[in-house]
Amino acid sequence: MSFDTLKLDKGLYTSSKGFTKALEEVDPSENYKGTELEGLDAYERQLKRYNIKVSGPNSDTVSKFFQSSNSATLFPEYVSRAVKLGLNNNILEDIVATTTIVDSLDYRSIACEDTEEATVDSTVINEGSYIPETAIKTKDTLTKLYKHGKSITASYEALKNQRLDVFTIALKQIGTYISNCDMHNAVDLLKSSSKKISFGTADKVSYEDFLTMWKALAPYEMNTVIAENDKLSQILQISEFKDANAGQNFHGTGKLVTPLGAKLVFPLTNLIPDNIIALDKRYALERVQCGDIVTDFDKLIDRQLEMATVTCISGYNRIMDDASVIMR
């Protein structure tokens, strides 16, 4: 069946696989290798079918989606993808080791624990001697998942003549809001469960404090540091931070790096105003997401934007408990 003869309906959104994957099953991308449509997924081929341009200076208006009942079915997926642009453009990737997508609200992660023998500093296992163990087991508790999202309160009449590239910016802001809520959950977990250490001087962050965090994380690597407000300002004033290499990196890329090479992350939420969290992002956190971005597809297809919601359900687990510390 060709992409330009498909019958689109709301049933594609009820699939547990999501709209695009359900559409891919009836219109596989592999059938278009060697054609001008190669590189497009099933949804993008439908946009081409109805000549809907969602970005650029010549983008269409919102009303272009509603030229037929078939093309109107594409609108909720456009909303989801635009929200994802804001959701993915955040600092979560700097603190998360892996993301697990689940299809149920009941999810148990794993816990990794070294036996007492595994902590012995030994580089050689002699013949017949004990081999240190790492115990991997399912956690006793379920992962706490939280729903975050927003309602769209504009009417279709107010939006129908708006360009899609402008509307995309508004939807990206919803994604950014969801990601900030998500970051709140991640930092809150790190704050409550990380090993606690103390500042050398209560009212000022020093280079020695970074060395203390670096040593406290061993044998893990301190590659990410989370700080806010006053503490971030104090870090930027550390003399070692102003060395040539750190300065060139900041001026060249806009990325802040500590004197020990850890990336500085500053969340928008005011969760740790007087603390600093240091972690090895490779081992500290698992992000768990239940399904995909969820939209009220019925309402969006029926142009009831003022009643439609966009939500995402996610939560966090500690992977290795010793892979983060909090200085307070």
Residues in CB range of 304: below 8 A, 6 or more apart = 156, 296
Nearest-5° Cα angle at 258, 253 to 259: 115
| pLDDT band at 212; cut points 50, 70, 90 | very high
Looking up tokens 């209560």 gives: 202
- Asked if the model's pLDDT at residue 117 lies above 60, the reply is no
Q: Which of 55, 30, 81, 95 is nearest to 263 (CA)?
A: 95
Label residue 181 exposed, middle or buried (CB < 10 Å: 0-12, 13-18, 19+).
Answer: middle
Higher pLDDT, 32 or 17: 32
pLDDT for 118 equals 47
Q: How far apart (Å, rounded) are the C-alpha atoms in residues 291 and 281?
A: 24
Q: Is 87 helix (H, G, I), strand (E, B) or coil?
A: helix
Label residue 103 exposed, middle or buried (CB < 10 Å: 0-12, 13-18, 19+).
Answer: exposed
65-108 pLDDT per residue, tens: 999 999 999 999 999 999 999 987 667 888 999 999 998 899 99
- Asked if the model's pLDDT at residue 173 lies above 60, the reply is yes
Average pLDDT, integer, range 285-301: 94
pLDDT for 255 equals 62
Q: How far apart (Å, rounded) are the C-alpha atoms in residues 46 and 108?
A: 38
pLDDT for 249 equals 56
Mean pLDDT estimate for the chain = 88
245-282 pLDDT per residue, tens: 555 555 455 566 676 888 888 876 677 878 899 999 99
223-242 pLDDT per residue, tens: 999 988 778 888 888 887 76
Side-chain-side CA neighbours of 296 within 13 Å: the count stands at 16
Q: How far apart (Å, rounded) are the C-alpha atoms in residues 40 and 85?
A: 18
- What's the length of the chain? 328
- Asked if the model's pLDDT at residue 120 lies above 80, the reply is no
Higher pLDDT, 113 or 235: 235
| pLDDT band at 132; cut points 50, 70, 90 | confident
Higher pLDDT, 17 or 324: 324
| pLDDT band at 29; cut points 50, 70, 90 | very high
> pTM for this structure?
0.86
